[in-house]
Amino acid sequence: MIQTDLTLKGHRPTRTGFGEGLRDIGSMDPRVVAIGADITNSVGMNFFRDAFPDRFFSFGIAEQNIMGVAAGLALGGKVPFMATYGVFSAMRTLDQIRVSVCYNNLNVKIGGAHAGISVGPDGATHQALEDIAVMRVLPNMTILSPCDAAQARNAVIAAVQQVNGPVYIRFGRESVPEFTTPDLEFKVGRAQLFRAGADVAIIATGHLVWEALEAAEILAEQGVQASVVNMHTIKPLDEQMIIEMAGYTGAIVTAEEHQIIGGLGGAVAECLVRNNPVPMAFIGMPDLFGESGQPDELMDKYKMKSRHIAGAAMEVIRRKKSI
């Protein structure tokens, strides 16, 4: 079913949606507790801290210790959320996530903020561009990558209500277009078809879903009809949707604010090569570290804007026709 009411409603950071979701699930479920790493406001955890001060704990810049404490809280029956910048929550704590959390399949929820190149001036050290790849190889891990602030809120709630195990939720810092509605159903592991077109399918995640929708408009002006899929869950991957899109369009473009190695594109390619190989193109970080700059300038430099997605779609359609 094609989702409707995807008009632009404003601009908000997905970290705000994460914070709202954490506060709201905290009111629904008294087991939820939150652990901060000295950047509470920066990752949206202040919403929960202000609402439930007795269930919020700040450990300072001690991410590895925090992950161990989160594992202990989960063993004690709590549902702990820890959140910091994705470069720290997904990579500095990798050993603790692997051995303490995932190996024991504990109910720990991890927030990865400042995801993608659009972090901007903070530069390469703070731009999480490898986190999906790192989290994707861990058994028992679920990975959520919401497309806007409203969906980020729903993803946090779903992480508790739909998954009894480790979840990594990826979100960003900058204000981005908000175009979904709070009542849009969020089902872990089920992608959303935002637009249908038989010439090519653009499978996008996170902030690039809006760019994909704009790319579809550019293509429509050239007589090309594109499907747009919001792959908000990277793991477990909605392979049925991918296979259907490959059969329907015969050409796939993936789009993500992440390295093209090991992320959404790699996951989609793995699915296609097993089931229905079709011409494919990848939009994302081309095996490079980021740099400091304004978010929109960086998105343009590394070819993650709507016109770049549209160009990749035209190229993959050309390859399809040459087969």
Q: What are the residue ranges spanned by the domains of the chain?
A: 11-178, 192-322
Q: Any idea what the Cα angle at residue 263 is, between residues 122 and 219, rounded to 5°? A: 90
Distance CA 261, CA 241 (A): 21
Q: What is the CA radius of gyration of the chain?
A: 19
Written as six digits, the tokens of 141 are 């891990």
Residues 159-185 pLDDT 10s: 999 999 999 999 999 999 999 999 999
Provide the edge-to-edge strand list for the sheet that holds 79-85. Answer: 56-58, 32-36, 79-85, 109-113, 167-170, 142-144, 233-235
| DSSP 8-state code for residue 320 | H
> Cβ(256)–Cβ(284) under 8 Å?
yes
User: What whole-number distance in Å separates Cα of residue 25 and Cα of residue 125?
Assistant: 31
Q: What is the pLDDT of residue 308?
A: 98
- Tell me what pLDDT residue 1 has: 64
**b/e for 189-201, b at 16 or more Cβ within 10 A?**
bebbbbbbbebbb
Taking only the tens of pLDDT, the chain with its 323 residues reads 677 678 889 999 999 999 999 999 999 999 999 999 988 999 999 999 999 999 999 999 999 999 999 999 999 999 999 999 999 999 999 999 999 999 999 999 999 999 999 888 889 999 999 999 999 999 999 999 999 999 999 999 999 999 999 999 999 999 999 999 999 999 999 999 999 999 999 999 999 999 999 999 999 999 999 999 999 999 999 999 999 999 999 999 999 999 999 999 999 999 999 999 999 999 999 999 999 999 999 999 999 999 999 999 999 999 999 98
Residue count of the chain? 323
Residue 200: beta bridge partners? 226
Alpha carbon 94 to chain centroid, angstroms: 18
Alpha-carbon span 62 to 77, nearest angstrom:
23
pLDDT at 323: 81
The residues, ordered by sequence, that sit 6+ positions from 12 with a Cβ below 8 Å of its Cβ are 148, 149, 175, 176, 178
Inter-residue contact 181 to 150 (CB < 8 Å): yes
The pairing of beta strand 109-113 with beta strand 79-85? parallel
Q: In the CATH scheme, what architecture does the domain 11-178 have? A: 3-Layer(aba) Sandwich (3.40)
Topology match between the domains 11-178 and 192-322: yes
Distance, in Å, from the CA atom of 211 to the CA atom of 276, rounded to the nearest integer, reads: 26
What the block records as the tokens of 226 is 């594109």
**pLDDT given for residue 7 in this prediction:** 87
Q: For 192-322, which CATH class?
A: alpha beta
SS3 291: coil
Which pLDDT tens digit goes with each residue over 267-291? 999 999 999 999 999 999 999 999 9
pLDDT of residue 156: 98
Candidates 249, 251, 250, 211; CA nearest to 230 is 211
